[in-house]
Structure 1
Amino acid sequence: MARKPRIHYPGAVYHVILRGNAGGPIFFEDGDRFRFYLFLQQSVERFGYRIHGFCCMTTHIHLVIQVTEIPLALIMQNLSLRYTKWVNYTQGRAGHVFQGRYKALLLDADAYLLELVRYVHLNPVRAVMVKLPEDYPWSGHRAYLGRETLPWLTTDWVLSLLGRRIDSARKAYRQFVADGMDEGKRDEFHSGTCEGRILGDDDFADDALCKANQIRRREWTLTEVVASVCRRYGITEEQLRSPGKARTFSEARALAAVIVQESPHLFLTELGKLFNRDVSTIGKAAQRMIYRSQTDDPLATNIEAVRRDLG
């Protein structure tokens, strides 16, 4: 069965869960968690999204993310790729760190944000790793209490739901979390309430899908993506489809794959058919390009130029 595209629109809030490959560890030492923090900060600065809550367990990660214009798919692709490169380098290994596709539930924030942030921050308590959430150092809970500063974590929205003044809001937050200490696993925070990808009632789901469809209608077609890439590199579509492995052609195909992966309504399978190439091959080429663009300014310029050209 084909995967349904992610639901994307500016302002959307998601509960994201990343799990270790084959149930294995994501973090091997504290330095890995600090490095992941750094990647989070850089990612927030680059893509302009917000993190309202998080918890880094050994074998999985919870994130409460609110996006702007950049789709969640691009954010998570960049974050997971950079962290995988780090782990493979420090561990002297190769292969996957994360298990397949991350889980992402679109959230009705008005109904669930407060409870979800509490649920995420209580994860170590439910796992019987600590007695109190503030005893666990790798979540957003301490920052909400004012005991820690994490510049990439946004606490304003949640705290504003609990009080007008910061001190009273933090006190109310602490009590709210304490009131949920005995709460067990909540399936809806993992499986959603609609289509396995939405946490909200039918009205919210209909509204979210409507917003996403409006965004899609403004987005580009595969033909437009290929045309923009060809203009950028001064080549023809026929050259792009050719079996040649010249660097210019290979890079242009990889850039087209990057743009397709950023688009919730486009699929690499379509691009693979157009280019007469294996989907996994062009997918890996796109990942390599994203990683290289972190340090290769001309390459990053080409990617941004195509994005701007497509509008």
Structure 2
Amino acid sequence: MALIRYIHLNPIRAGNVRDVETLNTYPWSGHSAVMGKSKCQWMDTEHVLAQFGTKKKAARKAYRRFTEEGVNIKYGSELTGGGLIRSLGGWSQVLSMRRKGQKGEFDERILGEGDFVHNILKEAEEKEIRQLRIRFSGKSITDIIKEECKKRQVSVKELKGGSRRNKVSQTRALIAYRSIEELGLSTAEIARHLGVATSTVTRAIERGEKLNNA
């Protein structure tokens, strides 16, 4: 459970979200799935909740309390350091590979064996290259705002005025999604440009992804 908590709190440590309350609706963390705020097909949320109680409501409350208690914890090397040792599961595995003349791929930020780490890094690298190309082209969130507003016939003033009209909400959602996907901006930075709260941006990103893939 300590490992799950550590992983789920990563967005707070990275500064993508402010606190656990905001994390509840952050779609890029398994925490929101455990809290029932988003769906994550590959994650066994029932198994996680079962560690905190038999009744779902009480279990979620206990899980959230457990997660909140981890916000100010300073984690040791068992979770934060020694990439190769941790990725392979311990020194014995490292020594065994050295004796066989094998090499393993690792990264201190990722828990998992070589192939898994390789795939994660490859996906991250491709995404970062894509974002860098767009940034070097001079494109900014202001350009994305203008593009989406023109496409959907929404004024920038109405967009930033907090309007909840469906067309405006959809435009805001697509801007938020494109800004994080194409430019790699933080939710806080997107929120500043859209004139809304960070929690609103978090929900908008999830909606924007669905609209983009529809």
TM-score normalised by L of structure 2: 0.46
